[in-house]
Amino acid sequence: MQAAPKEEFREKKQPMKHKCPICKAETDSTIHSDFPFCSPRCRERDLGNWASEKYVVSEPVFDEEDPTEGEGNSIVLPLDHDLDNPNDAEH
pLDDT one-digit tens code per residue, 29-65: 898 888 999 999 999 999 999 999 898 887 776 666 6
Q: Is the pLDDT of residue 10 over 90?
A: no
pLDDT of residue 87: 57
Which letter, b or e, does each residue of 55-70 get, where b requires 16 or more Cβ atoms within 10 Å of its Cβ?
A: eeeeeeeeeeeeeeee
pLDDT over 90 percentage in the chain: 32
Distance CA 31, CA 16 (A): 10
Give 23's contacts (C-beta < 8 A, 6+ positions apart): 38, 42
Q: What average pLDDT does the structure give for the chain?
A: 74
Confidence tier at 9 by pLDDT (50, 70, 90): very low
What residues pair up with 18 in beta bridges, in sequence order?
27
pTM: 0.48
What is the C-alpha to C-alpha distance for residues 24 and 3, in angstroms, rounded to an integer? 47
From residue 50, how far is each of 55, 59, 61 by CA, in Å? Answer: 5, 16, 21
